[in-house]
Structures are given as structure tokens and as C-alpha cells.
Amino acid sequence: MMEALHAMCLLAEEAKADVIREQETARKAIEEAPQVIKENSEDTEKFNSLTSEVEALKASLQSERQAAEDLRNAFSEAEARNSELATNLENVTRRVDQLCESASLQSEQQAAEDLRKALSLAEARNLELTTKLENVTRRVDQLCESESQEVLVKCISQNLGYDGGKPVAACVIYKCLLHWRSFEVERTNIFDRIVKIIASAIEVSDSYKVSDNNEVLAYWLSNSAMLVCVLQRTFRSSTMLSSKGLMSGVLVSYLDRQSQVVPKCPAMLFKKQLIDFLQKIYGMMRDNLKKEILPHLEYCKQAPWPFSNPKERIVHWQRIVGSLRSYLNIMKANNVSLRIR
């Protein structure tokens, strides 16, 4: 619109200039007209024609000026309207932005609230699943431990012998208890089962003959001593025994590598029961030895030396020495320390 208006203004200006030039020409023509009329009558007609043309040009100029004025007014009105519309558009845009921000904030708040709720539900579900998993894991561990206990009980019910001077049964028992963390639990029946096996072996040995009975007693004496020693060195709150108090140096080097734990009541009771077994087994072996040698000692004491049969007396002393040697060999075969003997 601005370009059209500008073009029209240029046209109007050119028309105005043409009119002025024509007026000037007409004026000069009018001034010269009397002479021209006198000289040539045709000039009158030309003058009249030029006058008519001038009047037409004046009318056209006036029309063009009016059109230009109308265009200027329309342009001013359009410009004012455009400015008003731009202002309104800016206000509307600002309002729309505000509404969008408000809607976006509400949407973000709602999304955050939904996310918090989802997280809460997820945490609750996760806690529930974790609890179930722990229960299942505990149950599986209990089943596995129960099966392992059965294997251990069946294993130690046999004479496992020795390996490098260490009683195998004691080492197996200790390793299993340490692996199952049995020393650190408040309730377990594995200690009672081990104690029952040892007690049963000791009780059954009473029905054996003396030599076999001493073999069984010496075997469990060695294993019990080993277990007491490792427990003393493993239990953190326990007062450590001297490294040579119960076992040989070979076993002490083995014990030095064991982990330390804080024992619970069942573990402490188990250690006390093992110590009781040591005392009981040693007492039973001592009584067996007394039963063997006392009759011979009594005979040697009661028979007067001058009147007794020297050969018979020597036989009794040989039997006493034989019993002591047998006792010592059994202790050595079962790796019982001299400190216990």
C-alpha cells in the first residue's frame, strides 16, 4: 500500500508540473493571442482548445490531489489500526505465553507428583519383593544348611583319621561351622548334633574292650582338643591360650590363619561342652589305665620280696610297662599333645 501511495504521489507531482508548464504556455499564448488572432484566426481555435485542455488538467489535478489526500488519510488510519493491532497482538502473545508457562508449570508439578507417587509405589513394591527374596533366600539357605549338616553329621560319625598331624574331623567341623557362620547366630542345632555324636561315641566305647575303648577315646580327645584350640583362637572375646597349650606346633601354624568372630551364646556353650569332654575323656582313659595296672601293682606291693617268685613279679612289671607303652602309643597315634597326656 505504501508503494502504491508513493507512486500515486509521484504521478500527482508530475501532473502538477505539467499543468504549471501548460499554464505558463497558455499564459504566454494568451498574451500573444491578440496578435495571433489578428494574424491567423486558426490560433483562436487552438487557444480555445488549449484552454479547455488546461481546465481539464486542472480538474484532473484536483481529482488526483483529492485521491492522494484520501490515500494519505486511509494510510494514516491503516497505520493507526496496524499499530493498535500490533499492540493487541503483543498483549495477546504475552498472555498466551503466561498461560503456557502456567499450564507448563502445572503440568510439570502434576508430572512430578505422579513421579513421586510412582516412586513411592515402586519403593513399597521393591521393599516387599526384597523381603520376600530375603525370606526365600533364608529358607533356601536353611534347606541347604540342613542338607549340609546331614552330610557333616554322617561324615564325622566315622573315623576320619589325621592329615599332616591334624585331626580331619575337627578341621571339617570347624570349617563348616565357620562357613555357615554358626558361631554368630543366636539359634542353631548343629552344635547339639555334634555334641551328641561325640557323647554317643564315648558312651558306645564303654562296651568295647579296653584297647578299642582307648582308641576311640584318644581319637575324640585329639579332635576335641583341636576344636577347643581353634575356638579359643577364633572367638574374639576369648582369652587366648598359649600357642602350645593344647596342640603341637604344626596345628598352631594352621590356627594362626583362621578368622576371628564374635561368638554368640550357642557357640560359647559348645566350647564349654568340648572342654567338659576333654576332662571326661581324659578321666576315662586314666581310669582304664588304672584298671589295667592296679592289679599288678597291688600284687607287687603285697607280695613280700624275699618269699615272692621273682619271675612272676617280673611278669607283672612287664604287664604294667606294656600297658603304659600301649597307652603312650595310642596317644601318639592320635596326635595327642604331651601337654594333655
Residue 123 forms part of a structural domain: no
Bridge partners (DSSP) listed for residue 235: 261
Q: Band of the pLDDT at 68, cuts 50, 70, 90? A: confident
165 belongs to a structural domain: yes
Check whether 251 has a pLDDT greater than 50.
Answer: no
**Cβ atoms 153, 191 nearer than 8 A:** no
Q: Is the per-residue pLDDT at 220 higher than 80?
A: yes
Query: Which residues neighbour 252 within 8 Å (Cβ) at sequence distance 6 or greater?
Result: 229, 243, 244
Three-state DSSP state, 257: coil
128 pLDDT exceeds 70? yes
User: What range defines the domain where residue 326 resides?
Assistant: 158-237+257-334
Structure confidence at residue 247 (pLDDT) = 45
Q: What is the mean pLDDT of residues 12-31?
A: 72
Q: Alpha carbon of 310 to those of 46, 82, 122, 296, 305: distances in Å?
A: 197, 150, 96, 14, 8
Radius of gyration of the chain (CA): 64
pLDDT of residue 164: 85
Lowest mean pLDDT across 121-135, 179-193, 212-226:
121-135
Work out the pLDDT band at 241, boundaries 50, 70, 90. very low
Cell numbers for 241: 591360650
Spatial CA neighbour of 193 closest among 138, 152, 147: 152
Q: Give a yes or no: residue 48 inside a domain.
A: no
pLDDT range class, residue 250, cuts 50, 70, 90: very low
Higher pLDDT among residues 189 and 143, named by residue: 189
Percentage with pLDDT > 90 across the chain: 8
- Is 80 exceeded by the pLDDT of residue 209? no
In a domain, 104, yes or no: no
How many Cβ atoms from other residues are within 10 Å of residue 9's Cβ? 14
Predicted pLDDT at 174: 92
As a dihedral over the C-alpha atoms of residue 137, residue 138, residue 141, residue 143, rounded to 10 degrees, the angle is -110
Query: pLDDT tens-digit profile of 46-59?
Result: 667 777 777 777 78
Give the range among 82-86, 102-106, 252-256 with minimum mean pLDDT. 252-256
Q: Distance (Å, rounded) from C-alpha 81 to C-alpha 305?
A: 154
Say how far apart CA 230 and CA 33 lie, in whole Å. Answer: 152
Tell me whether residue 206 is in a domain. Answer: yes
Predicted TM-score (pTM) of the model is 0.52
Average pLDDT over every residue of 256-270 = 79
Mean pLDDT score across all residues of the chain:
76
Residue 53 forms part of a structural domain = no
Residue 10 has pLDDT above 80, yes or no: no
197 in a domain, yes or no? yes
Closest to 280 in 3D by CA, of 198, 159, 171, 197: 198
Ramachandran area for residue 133 (φ above 0: left; ψ -120 to 50: alpha; else beta): alpha
Evaluate whether residue 67 is within a structural domain.
no
The pLDDT confidence band at residue 228, using thresholds 50, 70 and 90, is: very high
- Tell me what pLDDT residue 144 has: 66
Which of 231, 288, 292 is closest to 263 using CA atoms? 231
| pLDDT at residue 272 in the model | 92
Alpha-carbon torsion, ordered 158, 164, 165, 168, to 10 deg = -20
Residue 331 clears pLDDT 80, i.e. is over it: yes
**Number of domain units in the chain:** 1
Q: What is the mean pLDDT of residues 270-290?
A: 89
Task: Say how far residue 320 (Cα) sits from the centre of its chain.
Answer: 70
Range from 85-99, 120-134, 213-227, 299-313 that averages highest in pLDDT: 213-227
The SS3 of residue 303 is: coil
pLDDT at position 142, please? 60
Mean pLDDT computed over 330-335? 83
Which of the two residues, 273 and 202, has the higher pLDDT score? 273
